[in-house]
Amino acid sequence: MKISSDFYGKYENKDIKEYTLTNTQGVSISAIPFGAVLTKIVTPDKRGNRAAITLNVDNIEDMINYRPFYGAVIGRTAGRIAQGKFQLSGRTVHVDTNEGGNQLHGGPQGLDTQLWAIETEVEADGSAGRLIFRYNSPAGENGFPGNMEIKVTYTLTETNDWIIDYSASTDARTPFNPTHHVYFNLTGDVSQSVLNHELKLNSQQFAPLTQDNLPTGKLENTEGTPFDFSEAKSVGEAVLSAHPQIKPLNGLDHPFVIKKNGKNKVDGSLYDPMSGREVQFQTDRDSVVIFTHNEAINDFSIEGRPVRQYAGITLETQQLPDALNQPGFGNIVLEPGETYQSRTIYSFGLR
CA angle (307, 231, 191) in 5-degree steps: 15
d(CA 269, CA 308): 23
> Which candidate, 292, 338, 333, places its Cα nearest to that of 81?
333
**Three-class SS state of 49:** coil
Active-site residue 181, yes or no? Answer: yes
Residue 327: CB atoms within 10 Å:
7
Active-site residue 254, yes or no? Answer: no
Residue 60, CB-side half-sphere exposure with 13 Å CA sphere: 23
State the sign of the Cα–Cα–Cα–Cα dihedral 56, 5, 113, 255.
positive
Question: What do you get for the CA distance between the two ends of the chain, in Å?
Answer: 24
The active-site residue, picked from 181, 197, 254, 293, is: 181
d(CA 247, CA 267): 26
| Cβ proximity of 106 and 97 under 8 Å | no
d(CA 75, CA 139): 14
Q: Known catalytic residues?
A: 181, 316
